[in-house]
A and B are shown apart, each in its own frame.
Chain A
Amino acid sequence: MKRAARLVIFYTCLIGLWALLAQLKIWPAYLFPTPWGVAQELYDGFSDHSYWIAIAVSMRRVLIGYTISVVAGMILGLGVASNKFLEETMGGLLVSLQSLPSICWWPLALLWFGLNQNAILFVVIMGSLLSVTLAMEDGRKQMPKIYGMAGRNLGARGFQLFWHVLLPASLPFIVSGLKQGWAFAWRSLITAEMLYVSLGLGQVLMMGRETSNMNAVIAVMILIIALGYIVDGLIFKSMERHLQHKWGLTPAT
């Protein structure tokens, strides 16, 4: 309750400061929008359904891209972790590739897939795949060996061993990587959407720019932050809590 009260006070002050600065009219309104302008924009956007559509389109893309990244990343990470040759060769390449912003793939993606949804998905996957792969590789190595041995000892083989033992055993070690992968996927998506008439949130933001509607730009920025935060809070936080409860790990404070 106290925490909630502190949050309310903090955001009230923040918006109050914003309102005050806007009210002082140091900058013209088209450069520095007011809170109520943005609120009106949000209200309009939702009531004419354009924001709902943009959110649905963007979420659908990021879900597809992220799911592919997680599945492929886990397989790739597991492979790299369990093969010395791959670890020495691919391992270093993967780490260096991670310093490349995924939007750098955009020109190639356009050539390979054309100006369509697949190009965006490709950029999203390139953004999050590496995080998941590296997290999985790391998790597989950090995971105590005893679990794999115990699993084999109790008759688990091949896919059974992966699904029932190696995957759950490495989850606490990869959950932060999964989270990071999600953040990268979300950012890559918005970036890619801004470059192309895509119906997603990124494009709505760019439309705000093109029509010099700073209210819309800020409204969409708030939406992007809120969605990222909600997914993090709802999915990853509860996943972490769940794991901590099962494993008896105390939550990091």
Chain B
Amino acid sequence: MSSNIQNAAGPIPIPVDPRSTARAAGPRGKLGPASVGRSLPGISPEIAKVGLSEICLSYRTQSGERLLALDHINLEVKPGEFLCVVGPSGCGKSTLLHLIAGLHQQTSGQVLVDGKPVEGPGTDRILIFQELGLFPWLTVGQNVEFGMKMKGVSKAGRAEKTRYYLRLVHLSQFKDSYIHQLSGGMRQRVALARALATEPDVLLMDEPFAALDAQTRDLLHDELERIWAETGRTIIFVTHNVREAIRLGDRVVLLTFRPGRVKREFLIDLPRPRVLEDVHVAHAARAILDELREEINRSLEVEYSVGVRPHVVPGAEP
């Protein structure tokens, strides 16, 4: 393991059962000051921007059995932190974002934002959906100002902010275009601008770059990092791409496959800006991938429970 990547638990191995991890003072409490990567001046690490405590979510499948999707998730996100959540598909990482956004209700446990429990959606937390959910009946500019309009911001105020955020994502010339006239990468940037324009404290991103080509994704990584630095938002970023998580995150949380539990946390203190192809990134990814592969194999076992049991080729990125 590279010296640049540290297990959040330090040298002490994390117990396999995440519940016992959680009960021990929470992930932040276990960190020695030396292992904190990027220091956040002026912000006490005790105040979590987003806190998840003992989150469980179960639902009934069509055949009537109860399926536990999330199992006692405990997580704290600091103000201004860039947290990445990785896990195999089906581990409930998207669901976790929906819970924080207030679009779904957890079965038990609490979602806290600034110490207050979340009750329904709020513009302090904006989710960028995997499918984006841009409104095709509105122009780019109208999409960006939508949240502000709902909040009752004056027309002049909306116009000014829309201009600002479109400039931030380099889409000023496309203000009057409709969504279908844009490329995939441009749509991503509209979604980002629309989310930022409501000025949320917390930005929730659900595999936003999964469907993009590599070049566009690299570009958007740079832009997202720049915007994050400029606006100081807290970002929770869900992805199945470990390298992407290391490219962007201050911290990477690995979830287990069904039920989703926090398997491990990794602190990434590589200097920014990071490059996907960088050897340190690859090195750090290796450590996480090894852990992730176990979960992917478990998920494959479940999904291919009848017949052959394919395994992930070692070294291949999921």
Contact = CB atoms under 8 A, between A and B. Distances in A.
A89 interface: no
Nearest to A168: B137
A60 interface: no
Contacts of B123: 154-155
Contacts of B146: 154, 156, 164
A144 B131 CA distance: 11
Given A160-B150, A245-B178, A246-B178, A153 B137 contact: no
A152 B103 contact: yes
A220 B50 CA distance: 71
B135 A169 contact: yes
B111 to A, nearest CB: 15
Interface string A135-150: 0000000001011011
Interface in B75-130: 101, 103, 121-123, 126-127, 129
Nearest to B127: A153
B249 interface: no
B205 to A, nearest CB: 12
B178 A248 contact: yes
Contacts of A160: 150
Contacts of A243: 137
Contacts of A146: 129, 131-133
A152 B135 CA distance: 13
Contact of B121 (A155, A169, A245): A155
Most buried by B among A153, A156, A165, A245: A153
A157 B147 CA distance: 11
Nearest to B123: A155
A164 B127 CA distance: 19
A247 B150 CA distance: 22
B181 interface: yes
Contacts of A164: 146, 149-150
B180 A248 contact: yes
Contact of B101 (A153, A246, A248): A153
Interface string A219-253: 00000000000000000000000010111100000
Contacts of B129: 146, 149-150, 153
A168 B150 CA distance: 15
Chain A contact surface mostly: helix
A171 interface: yes
A154 B137 contact: no
B122 A149 contact: no
A71 B101 CA distance: 33
A239 B132 CA distance: 26
A247 B136 contact: yes
A148 to B, nearest CB: 9
A171 B121 contact: no
A247 B179 CA distance: 8
Nearest to B194: A154
Interface string B196-209: 00100000000000
A168 B135 contact: yes
A247 B135 CA distance: 9
Given A146-B129, A150-B129, A154-B150, A165 B135 contact: yes
Interface in B22-70: none
Nearest to B101: A153
A152 B131 CA distance: 15
A150 B191 CA distance: 10
Contacts of B126: 153-154
Nearest to A245: B178
A155 B150 contact: yes
Contacts of A144: 131
B151 interface: yes
29 contacts: A144-B131, A146-B129, A146-B132, A149-B129, A149-B133, A150-B129, A150-B135, A152-B121, A153-B127, A153-B133, A154-B126, A154-B146, A154-B147, A155-B121, A155-B147, A155-B151, A155-B198, A156-B150, A160-B150, A164-B150, A165-B135, A168-B138, A169-B135, A169-B137, A243-B137, A245-B178, A246-B136, A247-B136, A248-B181
Given A168-B137, A247-B178, 8 more contacts: A146-B132, A147-B135, A150-B133, A150-B134, A154-B126, A155-B121, A160-B150, A248-B136
Interface of A: 144, 146-147, 149-150, 152-157, 160, 164-165, 168-169, 171, 243, 245-248
